[in-house]
Chains A and B, each alone.
Chain A
Amino acid sequence: MANPVRASLLVTCLVDLFYPEVGVAMVRLLRRLGVSVDFPSNQTCCGLPLFNSGYHQEAARVARRTVRLFAHSEHVVVPSGSCAWMVKKEYPGLLKDDPALGAQAEGLGSRTYELSQFIVKVLGAPDIATDFRGRVTYHDSCHLLRGLGESQSPRQLLRRLPGVELVELPGADQCCGFGGSFSVRLPDVSAAILKKKLENAEATGADCLVACDAGCLMQMSGGLSRKGSRVRAVHLAQVLAGSDSR
């Protein structure tokens, strides 16, 4: 391709440390879709855990270095609705005291996309060939749904896969109970919320519970594995990349 779309990965700390296979899936998938992918290797975490717990000066320091790190990226793609929300919606406010940096943050925000939104809105929802097969159901991550107002892109992508049947999850828009440090501060409340989510997922008869956020995945797969469920929690990138993701 003459002028490939270029995208930098903001892979997120959870994917980097716990779910590298999601990052690998994303790279292979994007490359198959003709995207030129790079990975600024000094990235750490977007700072969302600091921000949500009220440590805003600290979050601003993380934001400052992330904004600089991605200053020259054409697009930034994030496999997580919450981290994309952080960059798009919170960075500009955190850095507003420095007008130049604030403006840079605004710019970064407008070039940053959650993965499904990137594929649909920037790449124009191309056909995706995957060898993934099965019945899946989709969980709306709170920040992607209510923070970025996105419920359709992931569903649209899943529906168009030939070997995949998408069944709606009752209460799909209800929180899984993760909430970052919430799940550590109030673990039993978090687990009680999760219980209903998993019961609903199992009732759909789906093989896979798909989400677009590694936080929700950590929570939901942790619960599924503990109860010995046959349902697996997977990231959208893994479904779209198929066996390419290992």
Chain B
Amino acid sequence: MSVGELKVPFVERAHRALNDRFLQEALNTATTRFMTLRHEAFQAFPQGEALRERAREIKEATLQKLDFYLEQLADNVERLGGHVHWAATGDEARGIILRLAQERGVKLVVKSKSMATEEIELNEALEHAGITPVETDLGEYIIQLAREKPSHIIAPAIHKTKGQVAELFSRELKRPLAADPEVLTKVARGELREKFLQADMGITGANFAVADTGTVVLITNEGNGRLVTTLPRIHVALMGMEKVIPSMTDLMVFLSILPRSATGQKISSYVTLVRGPRRPGEMDGPEEFHLIVMDNGRSSQLAGTLREALYCLRCGACLNVCPVYRQIGGHAYGYTYSGPIGILLTAMLHGNHAVRDLAHASSLCGACQEACPVKIDIPRMLIELREHLDRERIAPLAERLIFKSFARVLTTPALYRVLGRLGRLLQRPFVKDGRLGALPVFLRGWTDHRDLPPVAERSFRERWRELER
């Protein structure tokens, strides 16, 4: 999503998404499938509930001593011959990666899927510096060809139908290709194989980083992560600072719930454990290994409203179950992270002004918290964000005045009764067949799609007088 598109208000972006026939077809199929798979995976896994609780405890305990675990991680990575870099901001993280690449004469970079690199718009920066980044995850490969951004945390091309992907491949690769996922995957694999062999640098994210062993953990399904971390002479891993976990025992807890939450798998096809660069006598692996630990707004929430959002494992389960995400998809949100957790992460990365409208893109139904493997209380944090929008006067003045007057009405019963009667009078021209079918101003949106019941001729409190015996 370009900056230009963000000038379009969220309401309008959502509206466009609702009217995009392809998007609707693709989204509905994929999110429903993810939801079902997740549900079945946990039904067949009675220990799941206890492990989710345990995972939540581990996340909280790690955040309590985050500095300690990060130092331990860094010590261990360095002991294994790797280099550790600390990036306070996204700018710094980008700068470190660019410098590493330029100093080492890197021309071609292969990447495995990483939201952290999306967060800092690394591909744009690499291209600007004359370095070619190639995405090797199939979904990322698709959106790179289409010059788009991911619209889902784990399924970046979820917004595209297979027909659209076939069209895209045919156009970009200049040969006609059928809308058959198997064919298209083979084509992509063929295209990518050469890149793996030519690349000077492999860039990955990190699903976890284990402090007491210095292990970076990648959870993938296509095998591309293995090639990215072993074939090029340099491997750079970029991690958000909250991704550190204390031990391999803790890792086992997360491995049991993350794939189930994300794709319904018992375990992903590949779990890649990277410990430093190639050691003497080893057959493969990079000559250099760099771990970049990125803050970028995270540490400021350690004691903030959004603390629990730092538990997030980036599984995407909350997106799949969110009634709003399921209708509008990820691009309408306008930022790197979409869906319920994405609203919180957007506030964390870009500040509260960025979520003035997004904070309300939730019916607060709670499905996200229910699906979250670590039970992040997303609805509560959304409500708290909304409170900040009022307190920091970010919410529109008209809205703030309406709600404050509404509060006056609710605390003054006489006023409440008068307004009830007034509503009864004012609605008269609009009542047809006992319902309100077309209302003006801010209720127009409601009645564009559905009827509203009229204010009753006699309220309950009026009828109570005769019910009283």
Which of B365, B395, B449, B467 meets A146, CB within 8 Å? B365
> Are B450 and A223 neighbours in the complex by a CB distance under 8 Å?
yes
User: Does A193 have its Cβ within 8 Å of any Cβ on chain B?
Assistant: yes
Q: Are A51 and B383 in contact (CB under 8 A)?
A: yes
B247 smallest CB distance to A (angstroms): 33
Is A92 part of the binding interface, using a Cβ–Cβ cutoff of 8 Å? no
A174 & B459 in contact (Cβ 8 Å cutoff): no
Q: Which stretch (B66-74, B117-125, B402-410) binds chain A?
A: B402-410
Bound-state Cα–Cα, A183 to B363, Å? 8
Write the nearest CB–CB distance from B100 to chain A, whole angstroms: 43
| Inter-chain contacts of A16 with B (CB < 8 A) | 420, 459-461
Interface membership of A65, Cβ < 8 A: yes
- Please tell me if A205 contacts chain B, counting CB pairs below 8 Å: no
What size tier do the contact residues of chain B reach?
A: 35 or more
Say whether A41 faces chain B, with CB atoms less than 8 Å apart.
Answer: yes
Contacts of B409 in A (CB 8 A): 44
A20 near B407 with CB under 8 A, answer: no
Residue of A at shortest CB range from B435? A225
Question: Is B388's CB under 8 angstroms from A54's CB?
Answer: yes
- A15 at the binding interface (Cβ < 8 Å): yes
A242 within 8 Å of B (CB atoms): no
Majority DSSP secondary structure for residues of A touching B: helix
Q: Are A188 and B15 in contact (CB under 8 A)?
A: yes
Contact A20 B460 (CB under 8 A): yes
Residues of A within 8 A of B365 (CB): 142, 146, 174-175, 179
Cβ-defined partner of A24 (8 Å) among B323, B324, B389, B460: B460
B410 contacts A54, CB within 8 Å? no
- A142 near B14 with CB under 8 A, answer no
Q: Is B297 an interface position by the 8 A CB rule?
A: no
Neighbouring A residues of B464 by C-beta, 8 Å: 23, 27, 39, 41
Chain B binder among A56-64, A99-107, A123-131, A158-166: A56-64
Q: Which of A13, A142, A147, A188 has the most CB of B within 10 A?
A: A188
Q: Are B450 and A222 neighbours in the complex by a CB distance under 8 Å?
A: yes
Interface pair B451/A225, CB less than 8 Å apart = yes
Complex partner residue of B446 from A42, A45, A184, A189, CB under 8 angstroms: A184
A17:B423 contact, CB within 8 angstroms: yes
Chain B residues with Cβ under 8 A from A45's Cβ? 410, 416
Residues from 15 to 68 in A contacting B, C-beta threshold 8 Å: 15-21, 23-24, 27, 39, 41-45, 47, 49-56, 58-59, 61-62, 65
- CB proximity to A under 8 Å, residues B453-469: 453-456, 458-464, 467-468
Q: Does residue B343 face the partner (Cβ distance < 8 Å to A)?
A: no
Q: Which residues of chain B come closer than 8 Å to A44, judged between CB atoms?
A: 409-411, 413, 416
- Cβ of B367 < 8 Å from any Cβ of A? yes
Decide: A147 and B366 in contact? CB cutoff 8 A.
Answer: yes
A191 near B450: Cβ-Cβ < 8 Å: yes
Let me know if A50 and B410 touch, CB within 8 A.
yes
Across the interface, A194 reaches (CB within 8 A) one of B423, B442, B450, B453, namely B450
12 additional A-B pairs beyond A20-B458, A222-B452, beta carbons within 8 Å, are A20-B460, A23-B460, A42-B413, A45-B410, A47-B410, A55-B390, A142-B367, A146-B365, A181-B360, A186-B360, A192-B327, A194-B450
Give A contacts to B, CB under 8 Å: 11, 13, 15-21, 23-24, 27, 39, 41-45, 47, 49-56, 58-59, 61-62, 65, 142-143, 145-147, 173-175, 177-194, 218-219, 221-223, 225-226
Pull 8 A–B residue pairs with CB atoms less than 8 Å apart, ordered by A.
Answer: A17-B420, A24-B463, A43-B413, A56-B387, A58-B403, A61-B411, A191-B448, A226-B449
